[in-house]
């Protein structure tokens, strides 16, 4: 396996790095391997992780001092990950079987944080990551999931913390009957930059996937949603779809939505869509006539829009956690 310093810096012509280039998300200079602090993990045991040929994953592996393994068997687990110091990094490996739920809260006040997650799913796993990092933090997140035969992964993300976010999530549906449901809600405020890239590959026939990303962008924030659904040759009977929606709350806010399909099989269902719109003045006016202030009215609309991203998520525990954290976040902004 080649080392991080042997990997060429990817150009911005590469889709993954078009909107948030590697030089921007790297915590120092790209030819440096800085010393970082380790994450605090509330659960799991230490293990020896492996590197990667992909630059972001290789970098996190190289600088991480902490690698944690977590095995889930028919259980609900709350995992608190806390970052501290100027720079923090860590790796998490998950093996899930039965019907399990994993709630990850990422918090702390680092200048930069790097988190790499690898997971194997047998049975059903519903996992949510809530980004509660301090408002000045930079976050690089890389996920790699493999879903086995007749198994299902529900992955959800509530992204409201941090200042500069680069997230690269990849799901491999490896065998017939495997499926995944993806849901991401991002709230841009002030000059926050939030870039989510998701790749789902159907490597076998009769596999299913759905992906929904909703971004609400205020201030001068910038939201990026890119997705690639790939159905390989011979993966007939597969069903894949993705929808990206952006709600613009300010004239200075920007949002990019780029869904892509690569279909190499014949007998499949595949669809994608994207839409962006400004917040409706009529809705604001209606809510204000009911006694809400303009900021409260806007917050209520944002809440409903972002929660709708999780309409395909079946795990009620996950929904309750997301709603609670989102309400706390929005209330802090209104009263801040």
- pLDDT of res. 299: 85
- pLDDT of res. 207: 97
Helix (H) or strand (E) holding 233: none
The domain ranges of the chain are 4-278
pLDDT band at 269 (very low <50, low <70, confident <90, very high): very high
- pLDDT of res. 97: 96
As a whole-number percent, the residues of the chain with pLDDT over 70 amount to 99
- pLDDT of res. 1: 67
Section 298-325 average pLDDT: 94
How far, in Å, CA of 74 to CA of 95, rounded?
11
Strand order in the sheet with 40-41: 40-41, 76-83, 99-108, 124-133, 152-159, 179-188, 208-217, 239-248, 269-278
- pLDDT of res. 309: 97
List the beta strands (DSSP E) in the chain: 37-38, 40-41, 45-46, 67-73, 76-83, 87-97, 99-108, 112-121, 124-133, 138-147, 152-159, 164-173, 179-188, 193-202, 208-217, 222-231, 239-248, 254-263, 269-278
- pLDDT of res. 286: 83
Q: Quick: pLDDT tens for 177-202.
A: 999 999 999 999 999 999 999 999 99
Q: Whole-model pTM above 0.85? A: yes
Section 84-94 average pLDDT: 95
pLDDT band at 287 (very low <50, low <70, confident <90, very high): confident
Contact 272, 261 (CB under 8 A): yes
What is the number of residues in the chain?
336
């Amino acid at each position: 396996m080649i080392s991080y310093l042997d990997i060429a810096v990817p150009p911005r012509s590469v889709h993954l790095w078009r909107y948030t280039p590697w030089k921007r998300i790297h915590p120092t200079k790209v030819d440096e391997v800085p010393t970082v602090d380790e994450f605090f993990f509330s659960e799991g045991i230490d293990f020896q992780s492996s590197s990667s040929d992909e630059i972001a994953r290789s970098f996190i592996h190289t600088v991480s001092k902490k690698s944690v393994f977590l095995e889930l068997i028919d259980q609900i687990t709350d995992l608190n990950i806390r970052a501290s110091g100027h720079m923090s990094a860590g790796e998490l490996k998950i093996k899930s079987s039965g019907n399990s739920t994993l709630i990850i809260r990422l918090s702390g006040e680092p200048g930069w944080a790097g988190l790499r997650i690898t997971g194997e799913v047998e049975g059903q796993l519903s996992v949510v990551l809530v980004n509660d990092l301090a408002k000045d933090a930079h976050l690089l997140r890389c996920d790699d999931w493999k879903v086995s035969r007749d198994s299902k992964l529900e992955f959800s993300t509530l992204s409201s913390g941090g200042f500069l976010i680069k997230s690269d999530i990849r799901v491999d549906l490896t065998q017939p009957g495997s499926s995944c449901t993806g849901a991401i809600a991002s709230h841009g405020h002030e000059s926050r930059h939030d870039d989510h890239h998701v790749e789902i590959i159907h490597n076998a026939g009769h596999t299913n996937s759905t992906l929904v990303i909703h971004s609400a962008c205020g201030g001068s924030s910038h939201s990026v949603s890119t997705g690639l659904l790939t159905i390989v040759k011979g993966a007939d009977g597969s069903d894949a779809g993705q929808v990206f929606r952006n709600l613009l709350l300010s004239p200075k806010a920007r949002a990019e939505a780029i869904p892509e399909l690569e279909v190499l099989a014949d007998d499949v269902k595949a669809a994608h869509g994207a839409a962006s719109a400004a917040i409706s003045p009529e809705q604001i006016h209606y809510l204000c006539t009911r006694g809400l202030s303009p900021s409260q009215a806007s917050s209520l609309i944002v809440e409903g829009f972002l929660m709708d991203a999780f309409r395909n998520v079946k795990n009620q525990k996950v929904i309750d956690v997301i709603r609670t954290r989102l309400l706390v976040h929005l209330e802090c902004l209104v009263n801040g």
